[in-house]
């Protein structure tokens, strides 16, 4: 049931983080190849460097994986070497090559652990977790593909093996939610049980909470306990429980805060919610109905998702090229069959549109 708690004042901090990563290779990178089924658009708007790939979506996801190098959960050389083996725009090639790299570091971690080299094992497991997660990213065109859950589990298991070798105290938690639970990690500054400020971090449209580990560690270093979780439509909740997204995100946030506020190591007067990517849209909705949230970070990155879709349709040419957003809405209402046909044409020509609709 939707809460009727009125909107209360809180701090809204909008963070726009743009990470530009540049690197050189001593060996030549093979010329990108285009899958026969893909016809690149003549002009692509891309707000990220075209590193290795000319395909904007592949370039962006490579950049996203490279960003994990900051926390030691990826390596720039390993990422570039993997990317150089991938066929441009080919989802299967993406999966195969990242899976090979992930398997390599999974085995390296196991070997290090068996030899008593716990630090090396931990580092290898964190990188394996990142690379498995990257491998799985473009598999969702067929929701019944068993590799989706298998590879996600490989990523989560590697991550948890790394956590077990790390020095930061943590708990794997289950947050009551309706007739089920939401998965979470509760990271602690220490095991003293002293009530501390709490940072709740949530992911967005396509992320898993294990990817939030570096964010959590930034909170720990600043004296916050940190709770990450996955809600409907995210991570384990969609892959295993098959619970889709919901618009009334307050009915997700309120149970999460209920759980957090019930812990003796949380200061109930100092709870911050940080929503990343689509979470930057969902978190403000949740916070509007939850007065116990005293600060909000709306880290969406994209200001207007609808405008992005409109620009993609215009780039694709055809009947949408010169339409306004209102005209597109009218087209969808009056002739959904032809509208959907146009979307399918876009999916064939634009990797990003294909991924967004398949996800």
Sketch out the chain's domains with CATH numbers.
1-29+168-303 (3.40.50.1820), 31-166 (1.20.1440.110)
Could you report the per-residue pLDDT of 296-309, keeping only the tens digit for each? Answer: 999 987 777 777 77
Characterise 337 by phi-psi region: left (phi > 0), alpha (psi -120 to 50), beta (else). alpha
Order of strands, sheet of 170-177, starting from the edge strand that comes earlier in the sequence: 11-14, 293-299, 266-276, 196-202, 225-229, 180-187, 170-177
Task: Specify the pLDDT at position 316.
Answer: 65
Task: Please indicate whether residue 277 is annotated as part of the active site.
Answer: yes
d(CA 59, CA 48): 7
pLDDT category of residue 213 using cuts at 50, 70 and 90: very high
Could you report the per-residue pLDDT of 140-190, keeping only the tens digit for each? Answer: 888 899 999 999 999 999 999 999 999 999 999 999 999 999 999 999 999
C-alpha to C-alpha distances, 241 to 1, 183, 185, 271, nearest whole angstrom: 21, 11, 18, 28
Residue percentage of the chain with pLDDT more than 70: 81
Q: Sign (positive/negative) of CA torsion 127, 46, 234, 287?
A: positive
Task: Specify the pLDDT at position 33.
Answer: 39
If we measure between CA atoms, which residue out of 67, 57, 63, 66 comes closest to residue 90? 57
Identified catalytic residue from 277, 316, 338, 341: 277
Flag whether pLDDT at 34 surpasses 50. no
């Amino acid at each position: 049931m939707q809460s009727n708690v009125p909107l209360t004042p809180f701090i809204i901090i909008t963070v726009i983080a743009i990470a530009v990563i540049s690197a050189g290779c001593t060996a030549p990178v093979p010329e990108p190849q285009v899958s026969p089924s893909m016809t690149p658009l003549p002009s692509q708007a891309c707000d990220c460097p075209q590193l290795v790939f000319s395909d904007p979506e592949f370039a962006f996801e490579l950049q996203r994986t490279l960003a994990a190098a900051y926390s030691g959960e990826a390596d720039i050389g390993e990422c570039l070497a993997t990317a150089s083996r991938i066929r441009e725009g080919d989802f299967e090639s993406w999966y195969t090559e990242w899976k090979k790299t992930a398997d390599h570091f999974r085995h390296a971690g196991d070997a290090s652990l068996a030899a008593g080299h716990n630090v090396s094992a931990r580092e290898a497991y964190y990188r394996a977790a990142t690379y498995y997660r990257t491998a799985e990213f473009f598999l969702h065109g067929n929701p019944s593909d068993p590799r989706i859950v298998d590879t996600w589990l490989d990523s989560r298991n590697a991550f948890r093996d790394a956590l077990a070798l790390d020095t930061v105290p943590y708990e794997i938690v289950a947050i009551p939610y309706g007739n089920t639970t939401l998965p979470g990690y509760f990271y602690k500054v220490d095991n003293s049980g002293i009530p501390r400020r709490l940072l709740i971090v949530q992911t967005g449209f396509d992320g898993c909470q294990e990817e939030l580990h570096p964010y959590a560690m930034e909170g720990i270093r600043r004296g916050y306990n940190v709770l990450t979780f996955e809600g409907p439509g995210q991570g384990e909740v969609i892959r295993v429980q098959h619970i889709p997204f919901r618009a009334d995100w307050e009915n997700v946030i309120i149970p999460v805060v209920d759980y957090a506020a019930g812990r003796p190591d949380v200061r109930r007067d100092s709870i911050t919610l940080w929503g990343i990517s689509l979470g930057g849209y969902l978190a403000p909705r949740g916070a509007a109905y939850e007065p116990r949230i005293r600060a909000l970070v709306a880290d969406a990155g994209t200001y207007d998702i609808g405008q992005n879709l409109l620009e993609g349709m215009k780039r694709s040419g055809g009947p949408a090229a010169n339409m306004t957003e209102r005209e597109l809405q009218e087209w969808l209402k009056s002739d959904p069959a032809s509208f959907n046909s146009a979307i399918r044409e876009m999916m064939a020509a634009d990797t990003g549109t294909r991924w967004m609709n398949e996800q």
